[in-house]
Structure 1
Amino acid sequence: MPHIAVGSTSARSGERQRRTAGTRRAALPHRGTLRPYALDITVILLAGLDVWMVGPEQVPSYSIVLSVLACLALAGRRWFPFAVLLLTVPGFLAGWAQIAAMFALGMLATRKQFHWQVWVGAGLIWVCRFFQWPLEEFMDLSWQMHVRNAIYGVVVAGMPVAIGLLIGARSELSARLAELAASRDRERILHAQAVRADERAKLARDMHDVVSHDITLIAMQANALSVSNTSAEAQRTADTIRQLSKHTLEELRSLVGLLRSSGQTEPSQPGITELDQLVRNTNVPVQLTVESVPDGLPNDVSAAAYRTVQECLTNVHKHAPGAGATVRVRGEDDGLRIEVHNAPGTTATAGLPSGGHGLTGMAERARMLGGTFETAPTEDGGFRVRASYPVDT
């Protein structure tokens, strides 16, 4: 038999690296959480710079206070956009907080889109840009200046609204695209599940119609043998065949039920506690040793150990008839170890069919559980199989 070795060192090291990287990421502050606050600070500084550069030197104190309050109110624009806009209106009308009011209107349009609050806020900003404080200066302006201020008011109020609507539409489009991608993923998963369900149903039908029928015939032939032959040896052989056929039919029925189900539940499988019965029912002389098996062994590890020993004894019966086998199951600190060794066969092989998938299946089972599996011929012409499974699977 070829040498097969399956290790899990690289997989475990990769898992440790991923856990370490996740711990480092958790220890460092996330950039996405700091970005909104940095943006808010930048907006407040820009609004304050606009007030400081545009405002004249000789101004009433209340104009300065209202302008500063309008700039500071931008700190709450993400949570209370309409209230912040209302707070910036006095600073724009009686002061120079135009940039602050435009930022507040833009955030309101981004959050509310076509809500009535957006249009009310746009009207207030237009009014603040059209009128001038104090009213005496507004009344002294010519009609040309009034027309220009009205046009500028449309620009000042319309630009934040347009940008906010654009940002909101882009966010909505991104959300729709993400939802569409998730829907396609769900459809792909459902289609794959449907295909697998069809394959499982077909396999279950074939197993039930062919394999179950043949095993039933074997059991019936064994019963006929026990009736027609009264010798003690024939009776023992027929009883062994009946017991094996019954056990095989029970496992086959469990597998067929699993295949016909959704595949979310695992059937009950034999484990280490059934190794004694397995050894008694096999036609191979076996010396079984079970040592220090930990309590609370996971079901998948226990089932894997049972299947490994079962497949090894089957291979001994097929490829080394007449040879004995030594089976040792030992619990250690890092997991469960299994070793099966057989001597060379003493009789000619029976020519039993073999698909060559037994060793591959055991190696795949060990890899899925994070263990190791290796096989190698021995110096005396026999064969040795070693497998290990972690107990914390």
Structure 2
Amino acid sequence: MTTEGLFIQGVSVGGPGAGAADRARRPATLTDQSSRSPFFRRLGVRSFGLDAAAILLAVLDVWLVIPAEAQPYSMVLSGIACLALVARRWFPFIVLLATIPGFLVGWSQLAAMIALGMLATRMQMHWQVWVGATLIWMCRFVQWPPEDFLAQSWQEHVFHGIYGVIVAGMPVAIAFLIGARTELSARLRELADSRDREKKLHAQAVRAEERARLAREMHDMVSHDITLIAMQAGALTMANSTEDAQRTAKTIRELSTHTLEELRALVGMLRSGVEHEEAQPGITELKQLVRNADVPVQLTVESVPNSLPTQVSNAAYRTVQECLTNVHKHAPGAKAVVRVLGEEDGLRIEVLNDRARKQVCGLPSGGNGLSGLAERARLLGGTFETAPTDDGGFRVQAHYPVSSA
């Protein structure tokens, strides 16, 4: 994500890749390192044991088959092939190439197979795997010295060719099985995680539905009656000239108006599906929201009062969040401009984006985002407007009166 011009109260605080840089510079805590160290110690011991066993088997394979009249160079190359296995975890392809001479002119067949298995386990279907398998097949098919190879019959050539397929194919097949098992384990973990998330989302949906039902009942039954009380108190103030009666009617009107405002805020919170246990993000979190967005954003926040009501602050955050989500889904590659301005009568938010620069990927949309924002603005006594721009972009404007929060 990039922020082309992150501007808050006259100070530029963002730049290209700011969010990624902050996350990259965040050091690991001592608790994280201490909790992971036993695992890494066990992993290190296991890797060392496997490497030692592989080298020991490769050396044993050479020692059991090497003839007494072997040439010194073939013994040296076979030894190099066995020792090269030490670096097979860091440089698998180079190690494989180092085992080829010892396999061709010596007796390090098992060392070459172990190197190919490690390479295939790491790279899977990469071209290096196929190059290594071909080289090992050729080492098994071509006999050294060349005059011995040319003197063989065609039956022996066929036999060595088939045997070479087995020698080169077996480590690759085992590596592919290991890769498939690893991928299957990862998929099973993802499936378990998705099921847990599905259960949580289902529970949240049930609670949200119950909140919506309560919000409808409160709005339909209570809000209407309180409004009538306020209207009657106002009429009583106009009709009765007694000072005590006017003072009492004024008090009733103020209390009913305040109760109606609190009721609207409560209904908005119920309909928005906000969990009471979790602190909801507000306007102070807009900078982090912009940095984490997958959209190039220019953010400007000006003249916002310090005593901004919580409902208005939450509504401002949700408005910007939903608009940036829509830009990412419906106008990929477009740039967005977000303005949050404090005014005498409230808070004004404007989100403007230009036309899409990339092909729309067709992400699913529930169609309730903007309508939900409009409903939230209405409950807070504000306004919410949307309209396309002449250049193919889109504009969203919202106004939340601070006096009604």
Structure 1 residue 130 and structure 2 residue 130: aligned? no
* Distance change in 2, residues 1:38/1:236 (3 Å): farther
What is aligned with 2:401? none
What is aligned with 1:327? none
How far the C-alpha of 1:27 sits from its partner, in A, is: 5.6
- Using the size of structure 1 for normalisation, the TM-score is 0.52
* One of 60, 64, 76 as aligned partner of 2:71: 60
What is aligned with 2:35? 25
SS at match of 1:59: coil
* Distance change in 2, residues 1:220/1:142 (3 Å): closer
Q: How does 1:205-216 map to 2 (within 5 A)?
A: 205-216=216-227
How far the C-alpha of 1:266 sits from its partner, in A, is: 4.8
* One of 116, 125, 134 as aligned partner of 1:105: 116
Structure 1 residue 168 and structure 2 residue 182: aligned? no
**One-letter amino acid of the structure 1 residue matched with residue 35 of structure 2:** R
CA distance in 1, matches of 2:115, 2:65: 19
Do the aligned residues in 2 keep the contact of 1:258 with 1:267 (CA within 8 Å)?
A: no
Do the aligned residues in 1 keep the contact of 2:119 with 2:129 (CA within 8 Å)?
A: yes
* Distance change in 2, residues 1:147/1:220 (3 Å): closer
CA distance in 2, matches of 1:181, 1:27: 26
Q: How many equivalent pairs are there?
A: 253
How far the C-alpha of 1:101 sits from its partner, in A, is: 0.6
Long gaps (5+) in structure 2: 1-28, 283-308, 311-405
CA distance in 2, matches of 1:32, 1:214: 69
Long gaps (5+) in structure 1: 1-18, 269-298, 301-393
* One of 165, 173, 191 as aligned partner of 1:154: 165
How far the C-alpha of 1:103 sits from its partner, in A, is: 0.9
CA distance in 2, matches of 1:42, 1:241: 88
CA distance in 1, matches of 2:118, 2:33: 36
Structure 1 vs Structure 2: percent identity of aligned residues?
A: 65
Structure 1 residue 39 and structure 2 residue 50: aligned? yes
Do the aligned residues in 2 keep the contact of 1:258 with 1:266 (CA within 8 Å)?
A: no
Do the aligned residues in 1 keep the contact of 2:211 with 2:273 (CA within 8 Å)?
A: no
* Distance change in 2, residues 1:105/1:267 (3 Å): closer
* Distance change in 2, residues 1:157/1:140 (3 Å): same
SS at match of 1:49: helix
Structure 1 residue 252 and structure 2 residue 263: aligned? yes
CA distance in 2, matches of 1:205, 1:180: 37
CA distance in 2, matches of 1:267, 1:165: 47
CA deviations over 1:296-335 (Å, ceiling 9, x no partner): xxx99xxxxxxxxxxxxxxxxxxxxxxxxxxxxxxxxxxx
User: Relative to structure 2, which stretch is displaced further, 184-193 or 233-242?
Assistant: 184-193
SS at match of 1:83: helix
CA distance in 2, matches of 1:36, 1:239: 81
CA distance in 1, matches of 2:195, 2:134: 43
CA deviations over 1:365-384 (Å, ceiling 9, x no partner): xxxxxxxxxxxxxxxxxxxx
How far the C-alpha of 1:245 sits from its partner, in A, is: 1.5
What is aligned with 1:93? 104
CA distance in 2, matches of 1:267, 1:151: 67
Structure 1 residue 81 and structure 2 residue 81: aligned? no
CA distance in 1, matches of 2:261, 2:152: 100
CA distance in 1, matches of 2:133, 2:281: 67
* Distance change in 2, residues 1:102/1:266 (3 Å): closer
**One-letter amino acid of the structure 2 residue matched with residue 77 of structure 1:** R
CA distance in 2, matches of 1:175, 1:129: 36
CA distance in 1, matches of 2:147, 2:281: 90
How far the C-alpha of 1:118 sits from its partner, in A, is: 3.3
CA distance in 1, matches of 2:218, 2:243: 34
CA deviations over 1:319-376 (Å, ceiling 9, x no partner): xxxxxxxxxxxxxxxxxxxxxxxxxxxxxxxxxxxxxxxxxxxxxxxxxxxxxxxxxx
CA distance in 1, matches of 2:203, 2:243: 55
CA distance in 2, matches of 1:199, 1:117: 58
SS at match of 2:67: coil
SS at match of 1:30: helix
What is aligned with 2:325? none
* One of 132, 136, 157 as aligned partner of 1:121: 132
Do the aligned residues in 2 keep the contact of 1:215 with 1:245 (CA within 8 Å)?
A: yes
- Using the size of structure 2 for normalisation, the TM-score is 0.51
What is aligned with 1:366? none
* Distance change in 2, residues 1:182/1:52 (3 Å): same
Do the aligned residues in 2 keep the contact of 1:88 with 1:101 (CA within 8 Å)?
A: yes
CA distance in 1, matches of 2:33, 2:166: 50
How far the C-alpha of 1:183 sits from its partner, in A, is: 4.8
* One of 210, 214, 219 as aligned partner of 1:199: 210
**One-letter amino acid of the structure 2 residue matched with residue 60 of structure 1:** Q
How far the C-alpha of 1:161 sits from its partner, in A, is: 2.0
What is aligned with 1:217? 228
CA distance in 1, matches of 2:169, 2:30: 51
How far the C-alpha of 1:50 sits from its partner, in A, is: 2.4
CA distance in 2, matches of 1:198, 1:223: 37
User: Relative to structure 2, which stretch is displaced further, 198-207 or 154-163?
Assistant: 198-207
User: Relative to structure 2, which stretch is displaced further, 185-194 or 148-157?
Assistant: 185-194
